[in-house]
Amino acid sequence: MKYLATVNETTFEVVINEDSYVTVDGQRHEIDFRAVGNGPLYSLLIGGNSYEGHIEGTDDGWQVLHKGDLYMVEIEDERSQRLMKLGGAGIATKGDYYLKAPMPGLVVSVPVKEGQEISQGDILVVLESMKMQNELKSPHDGTILRIQVNPEDTIQQDEVMLVLSPLDDQ
């Protein structure tokens, strides 16, 4: 079974066909993967190294706590990839970046305009939440396609605030 695991914007191809081997991006590793007790704690021995991970499934994907760091991993399997292709969901995957609100809050300012070219790290939206002003920055160079919020708007978590298209699309 082939899985695409996306974590921190990097996608790994993980192939699992037998119990004691995985192939990650074409590289085959010997593994021993065990649940520790009945809980969400797992032990992974891979190429002699021992790792401990705390894994929980959520509606949005898998959360893996590994060495104190929490990773959000999206898993697609072959079937969902096939469905995506069949369903023509490819339109959304052209590379447009949808800036979603990471938390509910109040839009303080939107220091960019539609059509504006921006560089990686530019501030797209300033969102006030949890007593702080949070600067949401652009993950890459691109052009602002659409802005869907205005200053003073109260927005919900995961609401799309702005759409960015990568430069090479232009």
Partner 1 sequence: MLQKVLIANRGEIAVRVIRACHELGLRTVAIFSEADRHAMHVYYADEAYSVGQAQARDSYLNIEKILNVARVAEVDAVHPGYGFLAENHEFAQACIDAGLTFIGPMPHAIAIMGDKVVARSAMRKAGVPVVPGTEGESSLRDEEIVAIAAKIGFPLLIKSAAGGGGKGMRRANDQSFMINALSEARRESEAAFGDGSVYLEKLIQGARHIEFQIMADNHGNVIHLGERECSIQRRHQKLLEEAPSVVLSDDIDLRTSMGEVACLAAKSVDYVNAGTVEFLLDEDRNYYFLEMNTRLQVEHPVTEIVTGVDIVKEQIRIARNRRLSRKQHEIELKGWAIECRINAEDSYRDFIPSIGTINTNIVPTGPGVRVDTGVYPGYTISPHYDSMISKVICSGKTRGEALLRMRRALEEYRIVGVKTTIPFHQKLLNSHRFMAGQFNTSFVDDDFSLGDRSDTDDEIAAVFAALAAHQYRQQAAHVVQRGERDTSNWKWVGRWERMHR
Q: Which residues bind partner 1 (CB under 8 A)?
A: 1, 3, 5-8, 10, 12, 14, 16, 22, 24, 31, 33, 40, 42, 44, 46, 51, 53-59, 61-71, 73, 75, 77, 80, 102-105, 129-132, 134-137, 157
Residue 94 C-beta: closest distance to partner 1, Å? 23
Handedness of CA 107, 111, 112, 117 (dihedral sign): negative
Q: Which is nearer to partner 1, 77 or 96 (CB)?
A: 77
Phi then psi for residue 83, to 5 deg, are: -60, -40
Taking the alpha carbons at both ends of the chain, their separation in whole angstroms is 37
Residue 170 C-beta: closest distance to partner 1, Å? 27
Q: Which is nearer to partner 1, 70 or 167 (CB)?
A: 70
Cα separation, 65 vs 3, in Å, equals 20
Cα separation, 36 vs 52, in Å, equals 9
Q: Which is nearer to partner 1, 44 or 163 (CB)?
A: 44
Q: Which is nearer to partner 1, 103 or 167 (CB)?
A: 103
Q: Please give the helix or strand (H or E) that residue 10 lies within, else none.
A: strand 10-18
